Structure 1
């Protein structure tokens, strides 16, 4: 008999589009799918088809813990085709409780996870052998903590016994229940915020009294924010004034040092002013000791009308006989000799 080739879909290699939705029969491959062991799957066999791994859950408020679990399931084997089953609202509300997100929102959240190759809508709460055979599932991935639900201590017990269960690790510190707990704990904060954003009290299921209280608190918060902004602006203004004052003081110190240096250079003990004063004092003293002669051709002074006229000048011979006294000793001796000769002539 001729062997049939596997036509199973392969893992997606591009992330430009979301994962596909599973059809009524997600794998229409007619080739037989032999049962694999975990050891065989880890070795990368079979080589002609991918290992089909199934992971299911509610995935409400899809968060990083969900994504990390799916990442582990995707990386279990070298060639993994990851199918993710998402339970409907009807099953979830019946066995677990009310959800924040609707089933369609949860479907779309899974489709846009990079590790998911195919999303199975309205997944069953308990995995039956018929379901596993229908979708040709090789292994089921989930955390190893017993999941008690629907009257069973562990809904994955029969999967574990069949050797088809592969455990993943939970991410501590994050879960859907933790996120909901935070919202309930800070309900007043979120209610006030949504009222401020335009939601009505009816949409938030808030009573009339609480609505007025929240709106009053929002007004108080706005006033506090305005006061805080004014304080910040005033602090910024004071800081700028301090910076300006520091700059002015620094410039004043520089100018004062420059002024003092110039003053000392000019009026100091060895300054320029002392040298100028000494030079001027020396010139004044030398002028007092030896004044300059008056010019010979200076005009005669006019007589005052109140002053009496001077006596008439002597005769010419006396003027000629007695010249003005000389200024030098040689001139004096010459004048004396001339006078003696004149006297002898008169005798």
Structure 2
């Protein structure tokens, strides 16, 4: 009995070890990235106030570069448009001159970026050549109630945010409330005067991510476009690089053609083998033919026998 109890205890310990290993394997499995659902929040409004169905539309403003317009951009604009029941969404898009000088080269031209934003269903109006740093005059000119952006400080590379009277007013308002203004944030003065509406970034997608994805698959996309008739010159690919890729493409085609020929040959050989074996099988053509001939011969002999008897 003592030995049986020891065996049972050993089996239980072994099961526990397996369970622990399974749990560790599950914990080590990489988490699957998924797009989180939008949580849209706005301020509480009283009936008849701007932003309610019985009041005037709240004029919300969002700005950006919007290069390679993607669903992360669209979700940010959706948050703005759906923040209140009655919203008119204005979207400012910076020009090429300002963007290239303060942020860097874009993939799309300013006109392409303007049109991309204009065709988003959440947008009511596009403001072209939007300023890098918003001024009081700009907000008044477009009757903007709130400026929308995520809460992460956006560094002012122009150095003009601290020069505006609106910035000084915002810093003073922030100080009176016991806060500290952020001189390095493009939206710091907007936040300080209470005209900032916070949105949430969509993780896992950005223009930079898309560009990095293309660069990391550089040769793949060059091959793709060469197959579609684009020249190396049009893609700014060096001559030797273009020829090397074309040689690789030709070699791949030869390999593919050889694989097709071999596959077809093997397929036909296999079909011939099956046909040969089927010919001698029970229901094959050879045995079936012999059975038919034997039956015909038997019928003929029977007929001859009947005629002889008669």
Question: Do they fold alike, i.e. is TM over 0.5?
Answer: yes
Q: Is residue 2:54 matched to residue 1:47?
A: yes
Q: Cα RMSD (Å) of the superposition?
A: 3.2
106, 129, 132: which one pairs with 1:125? 132
Alignment equivalent of 1:162, drawn from 193, 197, 203: 193
Count matched residues.
223
Match of 2:85 among 44, 69, 78: 78
Q: Deviations over 1:81-136 (max 9, x none)?
A: 11111000000001100000000000111111111111110001011111111100
Superimposed CA distance per residue, residues 53-78 of structure 1 (whole angstroms, 9 cap, x where no aligned partner): 11110000011111111111111111
> Residue 211 in 1 paired to residue 216 in 2?
no
What SS is found at the alignment partner of 1:97?
coil
Q: How does 1:1-347 map to 2 (within 5 A)?
A: 38-40=43-45, 44-45=51-52, 47-150=54-157, 151=159, 153-230=184-261, 233=264
Give TM-score scaled by structure 2 length.
0.63
Runs (5+) with no aligned partner, structure 2:
1-41, 160-182, 292-310
Is this contact kept in 2: 1:41–1:77, CA < 8 A? no
Which structure is higher in helix share?
Answer: 2
Give the 3 Å change call, closer, same or farther, for CA 234–74 of structure 1 in structure 2.
farther
Q: TM-score, normalised by structure 1?
A: 0.56
CA contact (8 A) 1:60 1:106 kept: yes
Q: CA deviation at 1:195?
A: 2.4
For residues 69 and 137 of structure 2, the distance between their equivalents in structure 1, rounded to whole angstroms, comes to 29
- Output the CA distance in 1 between the equivalents of 2:277 and 2:79: 61
